[in-house]
Amino acid sequence: MLKKIAQGLVIGLVLYFWGVYLYRSWSDLAAYQWEVNYTFLFLGYLFSSLSSFGLGFIWRWLIAKMGWRLDLGLALRIWFSSMFTRYTPGKVWHVVGRVYLSRQEGVSGADAFLSMALEQALAFLATIIVFLFSLIFWVEGRSMAESWPLILLIPLLLALVHPRLFAPLLNFGLRILRRPEVELTLQYRELLIFLVYYLAPALLNGLALYFVLRSLYPLALERLPMVVGAASLAWLVGYLSFLVPAGLGVREGILVILLSSCSPLPVATATSLLSRILITIAEGMWVMITNLWAGRGLVRPAKEGRG
């Protein structure tokens, strides 16, 4: 009960501060000379769609490594239908939904939960790696030699993926979240491969943000790594904001702060909001497409389940 009250208060505060900010900034937003490049805007939407698709695609590989064979359309329908529920208060409905939908297709509930835990942990680490690497390019003229302390953190993250370290850390995080512990079955090499896979959606998410920003403002291509890093940091902070569904408002606030260093404040504000809208539309599109496939019999059920 207290958690729900706290969650409601936090969501209310986020909405309040955003409302006040937009109210005070409305004159600047209205006065700005907007010129929209719809080609770049479409590219932003396209890369948002590909980033979401990539996450669902990788989850299918992940669940297959655990012994469960799902048709691609079926796996994507499970993934998108469950992930879309993360916009509801509670931060657990996408977990409940994924486990429930997976069990409907014969997948073990324990393995479905483990696949989600691995997905979240590996995607989180991959996004940290993208952010750390992007920091090299945030300051113009910074050499690779000056950035070696940041680069050294990347091998440390790779070492953390070793099962002897990764399994205890994963279960420690699950205990904090009051979730059941899991038994890790994947080998170190397999975990590293999936960590590399999860770099792709993080990079695509950054590209999407860059093109959304580029559709509103002529930002130089040299600032692309900085924008990719900003997208990664905003995603990480939004992910850690446990009381706010899908990091709504928190992610956008971080983006406004970061993007205002390379673009006018009205552009940074519009980019952060427009980016969220495009992500939501892209995910909604995939939910409709995969469920439409299922309705027309184009999504095959799992034949043998585990194998």
Residue range 210-227, pLDDT digits in tens = 999 999 999 999 999 999
pLDDT (tens digit, 9 = 90+) per residue, 127-136?
999 999 898 8
Scan for tokens 């669940």, then name that residue: 63
Total number of domains in the chain: 1
Q: What is the dihedral of CA 234, 240, 244, 250, to 10 degrees?
A: -20
Flag whether 4 is in a domain.
Answer: no
Mean pLDDT in residue range 265-277: 92
> Which of 49-63, 104-118, 190-204, 246-260 is least confident?
246-260
Indicate the pTM of the whole model.
Answer: 0.85
Q: How far apart are CA 132 and CA 125, in angstroms?
A: 11
Q: Is the pLDDT of residue 8 over 70?
A: no
From residue 215, alpha-carbon distances to 47, 99, 235 in Å are 14, 39, 21
Flag whether 227 is in a domain.
Answer: yes
Are 197 and 58 in contact by the 8 Å Cβ rule? The answer is yes
Flag whether 150 is in a domain.
Answer: yes
> Which of 76-85, 161-170, 174-183 is least confident?
174-183
Joined tokens for residue 21: 């900010």
Backbone angles phi, psi at 88, to 5 degrees: -90, 150
Flag whether 307 is in a domain.
Answer: no
Q: What pLDDT is recorded for position 303?
A: 45
Flag whether 31 is in a domain.
Answer: no
Please name which of 205, 207, 186, 209 lies closest in space to residue 121, comparing C-alpha atoms: 186
Q: Is the pLDDT of residue 170 over 90?
A: no
> Which carries the bigger pLDDT value, residue 246 or residue 34?
34
Mean pLDDT in residue range 144-148: 63
Q: How far apart are CA 241 and CA 160, in angstroms?
A: 23
189 — pLDDT class (breaks 50, 70, 90): very high
> Which of 18-27, 197-206, 269-278 is least confident?
18-27
Q: How far apart are CA 69 and CA 75, in angstroms?
A: 9
Flag whether 13 is in a domain.
Answer: no
Flag whether 29 is in a domain.
Answer: no
Residues 6+ apart with CB under 8 A from 48: 204, 205, 208, 275, 278, 279, 282
Q: Is the pLDDT of residue 302 over 60?
A: no
Residues 6+ apart with CB under 8 A from 166: 121, 160, 184, 191
Flag whether 3 is in a domain.
Answer: no
Helix axes 38-65, 265-295, angle to 10 degrees: 50
Question: Containing domain of residue 263, as a range?
Answer: 52-295
From residue 219, alpha-carbon distances to 15, 31, 177, 224, 235 in Å are 29, 20, 40, 8, 21
